[in-house]
Amino acid sequence: MKGITRVLTASAVLCAGSLFVLHSQSQKHVLDNPDMVSWGPAPPLIPPGAQIAVLSGNPMASGPYSIRLKFPANYAIAAHSHPTDENVVIVSGALTFGMGDKLMKDSAQNKTMPVGGYALMPANMNHYAFTTDQETTIILFGQGPVEFKYVNPADDPRNAKGAMK
């Protein structure tokens, strides 16, 4: 998903109240059932209300990572881009994606992905995402560090009054 500035470092994310459950990718297998996932608030680079669980790697560091994100109903992430490819698999609910410089929920070009759907958002491509009337869980994976560059700086939650930076 897109952003305007580099994401916070892992320590800044932790200071912001995010919870990460980190697994080593090089020395052990990761075998997590959905009921074993530890959820915590997502980092402030996306709007409040989302939850995160790190499955493997460290999304704030260089290298591969896999995370789960849970979005509430009627949640939206404004137009943004990333410097690396972003892979998304829908686990529950549905997530609508659109391409462009502004979130447009009524665009005929939007594509809603159901459970099992997969999306690849190429590096540096402006896109947005939103849920409708149901909670949605996704698995997101790629190469870190995760960075968000919002098209409109005013859409960046880190620029909100009172946001921790």
Q: Is residue 165 part of a domain?
A: no
Confidence band of 31 (pLDDT split at 50, 70, 90):
confident
User: How would you list the strands of the sheet with 111-113, edge to edge?
Assistant: 3-5, 148-150, 76-81, 127-130, 95-99, 111-113
Mean pLDDT of 20-40: 65
Q: Could you report the per-residue pLDDT of 58-74, keeping only the tens digit for each?
A: 999 999 999 999 999 99
Confidence band of 9 (pLDDT split at 50, 70, 90):
very low
The answer to whether the predicted template modeling score (pTM) of the entire model surpasses 0.85 is no
How high is the pLDDT of residue 83? 97
Q: Could you report the per-residue pLDDT of 143-165, keeping only the tens digit for each?
A: 999 999 999 999 999 998 755 54
Main-chain phi, psi angles of 89, to 5 degrees: -125, 130
State whether the Cα torsion 3-126-120-91 is positive or negative.
positive
Domain count along the chain: 1
Q: Is residue 146 part of a domain?
A: yes
Confidence band of 7 (pLDDT split at 50, 70, 90):
very low
Mean pLDDT of 12-16: 30
Q: Which residues contact 44 (CB under 8 A, 6 or more apart)?
A: 8, 13, 16, 18, 157, 158, 163, 164
CATH number at residue 83: 2.60.120.10
Mean pLDDT of 70-89: 98
Confidence band of 4 (pLDDT split at 50, 70, 90):
very low
Q: Is residue 104 part of a domain?
A: yes
Q: Could you report the per-residue pLDDT of 97-140, keeping only the tens digit for each?
A: 999 999 999 999 999 999 999 999 999 999 999 999 999 999 99
Structural contact between residues 2 and 127, judged by C-beta atoms closer than 8 angstroms: yes
Q: Is residue 164 part of a domain?
A: no
Inform me whether the pLDDT recorded for 77 exceeds 70.
Answer: yes
Q: Which domain holds residue 18?
A: 3-159
Q: Is residue 44 part of a domain?
A: yes
